[in-house]
Structure 1
Amino acid sequence: MTASQRREQLLTVSRGLFAQKGFEGTSVEEIAARAEVSKPVVYEHFGGKEGIYAVVVDREVQALTHALTGALGSGGHPKVLLERTALALLDYIESSEDGFRILVRDSPVAQATGTFSSLIGDVATQVEAILEPQFRQNGLDTKAAPLYAQMLVGMIALTGQYWLDARSPKKTEVAAHLVNLAWNGLHNIEKKPTLTRTTR
């Protein structure tokens, strides 16, 4: 096996273990045993568990970023963009269940970028750019666009986490419900929302 093939094998084995057991529950010993290599081979390629985890997370972030930005960057009516984005996330979850499980766990490798939360923040920034002209066109306060972008993206991401385990209803039905709530909620948005009762 070449060094490149060995590296990919270690990444595949580690990805499965991290998805199943999490970062803390996975050891270098277990990675080595599953890959049928000695521990020094793992250290030689990645420097340790943190190194291999960082590569696995980075690959998943790149894959999901590509899917979501592709959906958002394809142009079209805002409702269609919302549909595409919801489906892009659900497609990723369906095709990369282990990857999504890894991404939604708290990352022990503390970093400001390359995490699920930073990815969601980046997507929310793109959504904000789509919402702002819509807000302006409808006489709404554009300063609220970032807040609504975070809410929309968060709603889709959390629904994705739920669907990861539930897998019911079908993906297209989940996306339709997401879009129904988000679109109809945004479509009838109040210019100056207030609570029904004053809370203390």
Structure 2
Amino acid sequence: MGMVRQRMTGKERREQLISIGRQVFAERGFEGASVEEIAARAAVSKPVVYEHFGGKEGLYAVVVDREMLRLEQIITQALSQGRSRVRIEQAVIALLTYVEEETDGFLILVRDLVPGQDQSYATLLNTAVGQVSHILGRSFENQGLDPEVAILYGQALVGMVSMTAQWWLDERQPAKEVVAAHIVNLCWNGLAGMKSHPTLSDEVTAQLEEKK
């Protein structure tokens, strides 16, 4: 006799539907995704999806909220310690690693906001801007520069990193370490002081080696 497969608990079923919903939303977008397909992939009936989430919108909201929280924690942790340049490097590497390892999640976040959804990738970027601006403000003060304009530079830096990450989502070349080194080359050295072969700091390079 074969083993009888145990029924999923309500919590296990919910987690399964969230995982499958994440895949379908990444592949098809919110408009292209359907409760029918999500239910079919989970091998359940449509009412089960409605029972847990009230519909496609409810499931999408949970998926987006989870991705937002995950990426915000990753970026916040990266920006929390080290010298100013190291923090920026860590944050760029963290975002590119998320794009690389959690591609479905990133695809969902960078798509257009669904009506009624109050969380978005733009919201997360605004949080990052605040954190980066705080770091830059202290750096500016130490250099005798006006800390009041740090918010402007924070917007420019986060925007540059975000747009590059979206481009790299499709390209995947060159390697993320090279992409990060060039981004930091521009934002740290400026166009007038660009290095022809930029590298990451020793601290961040060591962190990457430890993770291999």
TM-score normalised per structure 1: 0.88
Task: Check 1:156–1:148 CA distance in 2 against 1; reply closer, same or farther (3 A cut).
Answer: same
Task: Check 1:134–1:186 CA distance in 2 against 1; reply closer, same or farther (3 A cut).
Answer: farther
In 1, distance between residues paired with 2:89 and 2:59?
A: 34
Task: Check 1:159–1:173 CA distance in 2 against 1; reply closer, same or farther (3 A cut).
Answer: same
In 2, distance between residues paired with 1:73 and 1:138?
A: 21
Which runs of structure 2 are paired with 1:14-163 in the superposition (5 Å)? 14-74=21-81, 76-112=82-118, 114-163=119-168
Residues 1:168 and 2:173 are matched in the alignment: yes
Q: What's the CA shift for 1:12? A: 1.1
Task: State the secondary structure of the residue aligned to 1:106.
Answer: coil
Q: What's the CA shift for 1:138? A: 2.4
1:19-54 CA deviation, whole Å, 9 max, x = no partner?
Answer: 011001111111111211111100000001010001
| Structure 1 segments unaligned to the other structure (5+ residues) | 189-200
| Structure 2 segments unaligned to the other structure (5+ residues) | 1-7, 194-212
Amino acid paired to 1:138? Q
CA contact (8 A) 1:50 1:109 kept: no
Amino acid paired to 2:44? V
In 2, distance between residues paired with 1:111 and 1:45?
A: 18
Task: State the secondary structure of the residue aligned to 2:169.
Answer: helix
CA contact (8 A) 2:61 2:117 kept: no
**Which of 155-164 and 133-142 deviates more?**
133-142
> CA RMSD of the aligned region, Å?
1.5
Amino acid paired to 2:131? Q
Amino acid paired to 1:61? M
Amino acid paired to 2:176? K
CA contact (8 A) 1:54 1:109 kept: no
Which of 6, 10, 13 does residue 3 from structure 1 map onto? Answer: 10
CA contact (8 A) 2:79 2:91 kept: yes
Amino acid paired to 2:149? A
The alignment covers a number of residue pairs equal to 186
In 2, distance between residues paired with 1:109 and 1:62?
A: 20
Q: What's the CA shift for 1:139? A: 2.9
Q: Percent identity?
A: 55
